[in-house]
Structure 1
């Protein structure tokens, strides 16, 4: 899913970089060392309600996650008030780094869930976010 032309941004977490995610962000559950089962370990640390990402602007909490092949997909909800309360992130490993790619923010849970399901290889149907 990583487009090689996309810009990589530094993260506050060692071994992590960000794609389509400019604000330096910490990923507390991200493993601090690279192993053969690093994505499986990462996925096991993401439980409902735990902090997925935090920076000076926001904190996002885990709603769901799905590990499919070499892709970890995470559905999150922003703590506090936000215009778009929902987000989806994609994590993959390239050159020994965890690439955290923002897969957009969403007005509705249904919109976020639809994108989450699409990335996981499932279909949920239409939502308002398809037309905004």
Structure 2
């Protein structure tokens, strides 16, 4: 999912870099060292409502996460007031660094959940809301 031409931005967390995420951010659950099972360890540290990311502008809390192959996908909700309260992030490992890629931010949980499911390969399926105007 990582586009090699995308700019990498520094993170406040050692061993982490940011993609499509300019504000320096701390990822408290990110492992402090790289191991063969680093993404599995990272996923195990992310529980519902735990802090996924924080910076001078916002704090995002874990809603759900899914480890698929070599990709960790995280669905989050911003603490406090925000125009777009929901976000999806993609974490992968390249050259011994945790690449935290901001996928998108969303106005609604439904939009964020739909994108989360697309990235994880889980079918969200249609709901009655898809057929109502």
Gaps of at least 5 residues in structure 2 are: none
Gaps of at least 5 residues in structure 1 are: none
CA shift, 1:93, in A, is 0.1
Q: State how far apart, in whole Å, the 2-side matches of 1:15 and 1:76 are.
A: 21
Alpha-carbon RMSD: 2.7
Q: State how far apart, in whole Å, the 2-side matches of 1:130 and 1:74 are.
A: 24
1:111–1:30 distance in 2 versus 1, CA, 3 Å: same
SS of residue in 1 equivalent to 2:66: strand
Q: Deviation per CA, 1:30-49: give whole Å up to 9, x if none.
A: 00000000000000000000
Q: Where does residue 52 of structure 2 map in the other structure?
A: 52
Answer whether contact 1:111 1:130 (CA < 8 A) is retained: no
Q: State how far apart, in whole Å, the 2-side matches of 1:7 and 1:48 are.
A: 30
Q: State how far apart, in whole Å, the 1-side matches of 2:25 and 2:129 are.
A: 25
1:5–1:27 distance in 2 versus 1, CA, 3 Å: same
Q: State how far apart, in whole Å, the 2-side matches of 1:10 and 1:39 are.
A: 20
Equivalences, count? 132
Task: Say which one has the larger Rg.
Answer: 2
TM-score, normalisation: structure 1: 0.94
CA shift, 1:124, in A, is 2.2
Q: State how far apart, in whole Å, the 1-side matches of 2:73 and 2:31 are.
A: 16
1:15–1:111 distance in 2 versus 1, CA, 3 Å: same
Q: Deviation per CA, 1:56-104: give whole Å up to 9, x if none.
A: 0000000000000000000000000000000000000000000000000
CA shift, 1:131, in A, is 15
